[in-house]
C-alpha cells in the first residue's frame, strides 16, 4: 500500500509534495524496494526455509515473524527519510503514519487475526479522500471509485476464501482508514 499511496502523492497530486520532479521516480523506486520487494522476498525466504508454513498464514502464530519483519523494514524506511532533512517531511511523516498502522496491526496479531489486506485498503481509501479534501486539483472521482472497488474485491475475496471472519475484515478496514485519515489530515493541515 505504501507504493500506491506514494504513487498518488508523487504523480497524481504533484503539489502535495515539494520534491522536485526529477527525484520523484528515484524516491518512488526506493519506496517500492524497501516497502514491497524486500519484505516480499524476505517472507518468501521464510517460507522456503520452513519458518513460515504457508504464504497464506492462516494461523495467528504464522503471521508474527513476517509482520515483525515488515514493521522493521517500514521503520527503517521512515528513519531513513527522517535523516534526510533536505527532503520534504511528507516522506517520513507519511511513512510514519503507515508504519504506525502496520505496528498496530502486528500488535493486534498477537491476540487476534485482523485483516492486514483490509487495513491497507482502508488506509489507501483514507489517503484518496484526504488528498481530495486538501488538493482541489486532484480529480478524486476515479481514484475513489478504484479504491472502493478494490476494497470490495479484497473484502469479498478474504471472506470467500475463509481467510477471515467478517468482523476481522471490518475491523482491519476501519483501523487502516482511521489511522490514515487522521495521520494524513494532520500532515497536510
CA 79 to chain centre: 16
Cell numbers standing for residue 24: 520523484
* Nearest one of 117, 143, 120, 119 to 130, comparing CA atoms: 143
CA 66 to chain centre: 15
Write the burial class of residue 10 (CB in 10 Å: 0-12 exposed, 13-18 middle, 19+ buried): buried
Task: Give me the percent of the chain exceeding a pLDDT of 90.
Answer: 80
Taking only the tens place, the pLDDT of each residue in 71-80 is 999 999 999 9
Q: What is the CA radius of gyration of the chain?
A: 16
- CA angle in degrees (0–180, nearest 5) for 37-139-96: 40
| Segment 58-71 mean pLDDT | 85
Cell numbers standing for residue 1: 500500500
Cβ atoms of 43 and 55 closer than 8 Å? yes
- Could you identify the residue written with the cell 508474527? 64
How does residue 24 score in pLDDT terms, banded at 50, 70 and 90? very high
CA 175, CA 183: separation in Å to the nearest integer? Answer: 12
Is 80 exceeded by the pLDDT of residue 160? yes
Taking only the tens place, the pLDDT of each residue in 93-118 is 999 999 999 999 999 988 998 999 99
Q: DSSP states of 43-57 as a string?
A: HHHHHHHTSSS-TT-
Can you give the pLDDT at residue 114?
A: 93
CA 59, CA 166: separation in Å to the nearest integer? Answer: 16
CA 103, CA 67: separation in Å to the nearest integer? Answer: 8
Is 90 exceeded by the pLDDT of residue 10? yes
Cβ atoms of 90 and 9 closer than 8 Å? yes
Amino acid at each position: 500500500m505504501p507504493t500506491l499511496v506514494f504513487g498518488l502523492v508523487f504523480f497524481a497530486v504533484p503539489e502535495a509534495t515539494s520534491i522536485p520532479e526529477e527525484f520523484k521516480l528515484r524516491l518512488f523506486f526506493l519506496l517500492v524496494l524497501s516497502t514491497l520487494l524486500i519484505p516480499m522476498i524476505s517472507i518468501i525466504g521464510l517460507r522456503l526455509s520452513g519458518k513460515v508454513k504457508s504464504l497464506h498464514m492462516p494461523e495467528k502464530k504464522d503471521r508474527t515473524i513476517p509482520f515483525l519483519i515488515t514493521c522493521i523494514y517500514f521503520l527503517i524506511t521512515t528513519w531513513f527519510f527522517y535523516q534526510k532533512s533536505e527532503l520534504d517531511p511528507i516522506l517520513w511523516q507519511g511513512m510514519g503514519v503507515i508504519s504506525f498502522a502496520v505496528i498496530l496491526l502486528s500488535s493486534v496479531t498477537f491476540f487476534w487475526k485482523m485483516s492486514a489486506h483490509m487495513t491497507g485498503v482502508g488506509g489507501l481509501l483514507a489517503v484518496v479522500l484526504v488528498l481530495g479534501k486538501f488538493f482541489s486539483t486532484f480529480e478524486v472521482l476515479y481514484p475513489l471509485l478504484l479504491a472502493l472497488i478494490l476494497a470490495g474485491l479484497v473484502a469479498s475475496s478474504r471472506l470467500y476464501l475463509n481467510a477471515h471472519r467478517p468482523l476481522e475484515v471490518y475491523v482491519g478496514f476501519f483501523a487502516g482508514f482511521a489511522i490514515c485519515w487522521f495521520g494524513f489530515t494532520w500532515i497536510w493541515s
